[in-house]
Chains A and B, each alone.
Chain A
């Protein structure tokens, strides 16, 4: 069983839909992250949470809304997305935030297609 689990693995949604991506970590980590991975682009950091508090919002449009109800769960709520938002969305967690040698563990990602 992987330490970081994301659901769903694949999602197709229309531009007027509302959907949510879910991430759960079973590692006892205090920090969680959302990254976006598009073709031919580096992994882009979207949001950072530490102990359920958002510490970074990397200029992400408001149509992406994160939620962290506890240190084990992270959601990404999606509404009125655009086709260019189609990408692989990766969740990650780490023991603590920003310290040296703080390895990040990634989930398998959600492949999102906006039609």
Chain B
């Protein structure tokens, strides 16, 4: 079976750092993806991890521990435009399987 858990909502202030956690239990694993989705828009790709460790991409970083079934997305120097849903997804088999998403609200 597939089970992906992430917090429903988070809040933070501009300029801060926020970490969004994701735990997964799946029957297969080909990589862990993070997507960003603004309200009314398509999900857009943020990051991908298939090996353990940290991948850094500008203000965004993603970490994976396969033995723990755990990933996090780290957002630094938060901006108002970072207010969105962040979707954790596991590629297991033929397609991406998504968590419910974490709605991040950034305030000034």
Contact = CB atoms under 8 A, between A and B. Distances in A.
Q: Do A and B bind each other?
A: yes
Interface of A: 2, 4, 33, 35, 40-43, 45, 48, 50, 55-56, 90, 92, 97-109
Chain B, interface size: which category?
A: 20 to 34
A92 B99 CA distance: 17
A42 B45 contact: no
A75 B31 CA distance: 28
A43 B41 contact: no
Interface stretch (B12-20, B66-74, B90-98): B90-98
Contacts of A35: 98
A43 B98 contact: yes
Contact of A55 (B4, B94, B97): B94
Nearest to A111: B40
Q: Taking chain A's interface residues, is the majority helix, strand, or loop, or is none over half, making it mixed?
A: loop
Interface in B66-106: 87, 89, 91, 93-101
Contact of B94 (A97, A107, A108): A97
A43 B93 contact: no
Given A99-B30, A105-B45, 13 more contacts: A2-B42, A4-B42, A42-B4, A43-B96, A43-B98, A45-B95, A45-B96, A50-B94, A92-B96, A100-B30, A101-B50, A103-B33, A104-B45
Top 10 nearest A-B pairs by Cβ distance?
A: A43-B98, A106-B42, A42-B100, A42-B98, A98-B94, A106-B43, A100-B30, A108-B42, A48-B94, A103-B45
